[in-house]
Structure formats: structure tokens, C-alpha cells
Amino acid sequence: QVQLVESGGGLVQDGGSLRLSCTISGRPVNGYTMAWFRQAPGKEREFVAAINWSFDNTWYADSVKGRFTISRDNAKNTFYLQMNSLKPEETAVFYCATDRILGVHAPSQWRYKYWGQGTQVTVSS
């Protein structure tokens, strides 16, 4: 079955950068969308970014546009989230997710069946 594993979380200073990775156990079939979500303490999980497996289409939350970049390496069954200019309020557990869904529905977390275990990102002031 489909399994995902995140890595790359850690502690970074205000304004710093981190690169998260998510590796899928098997190569997804055409039509899969890959996404990043995050959940801060006491807050609901929110959408961050998504990318289509077969094309270059990307989607971003307004709050991260211009600072975060989602990308993929199909040969490695891996997708990434490059995060620049991180802010303390973005401290959260980041989760990767995937499913065979339309990109227009990428921000809807309830549409994803497959989730990683989460990786902690802490931004200090």
C-alpha cells in the first residue's frame, strides 16, 4: 500500500530556511497530487502547498507565496518543500499527503487517504 515518510524538520532561526522531503514507498500512478499541510499547537491543520505528479502545476496558500517552493523528483519517488524566510508563527508539525485527486481540490485535507507521520519544524525568534 502507499506509504509516505517525511524528513528534514528541525530548529531554525527567524528568517532562516529549511527543506522538507517526503518519500513515497511506491511510484504513484498518473493523476496523483502531492501536498504539504501543517498544524500548529492548538490550531487546525492547514494547507501549505501542492504539486501534480505528472506536470508542473503547483498550488500555494496565500500566506507562503513567494517564500515556499514545492518540487518533485519522480525518479526518487520524492517531493520537497523549500521554505525560506520562516517566521516564528509558522512553528508546526508538517505533514505530507498524496492521493489521486484533482489539483483544484488540493487544499481539502479530507480528500487525502495517505499521510506521512509528520515532522516538527520550530522557528525561534
pLDDT at 28: 65
What is the percent of the chain with per-residue pLDDT over 70, rounded to a whole number?
Answer: 98
Which whole number is the average pLDDT over 79-108? 95
**Residue 33 pLDDT greater than 90, yes or no:** yes
Stronger pLDDT, 26 or 113, i.e. the higher one: 113
Tens of pLDDT along 34-45? 999 999 999 999
**Residue 29 pLDDT greater than 70, yes or no:** no
How far CA 115 is from CA of 38, 83, 109, in Å, comes to 12, 20, 10
What CA dihedral angle connects 83, 87, 93 and 97, to 10 degrees? -40
Full 3-state SS string of 70-96:
EEEEHHHCEEEEEECCCCHHHCEEEEE
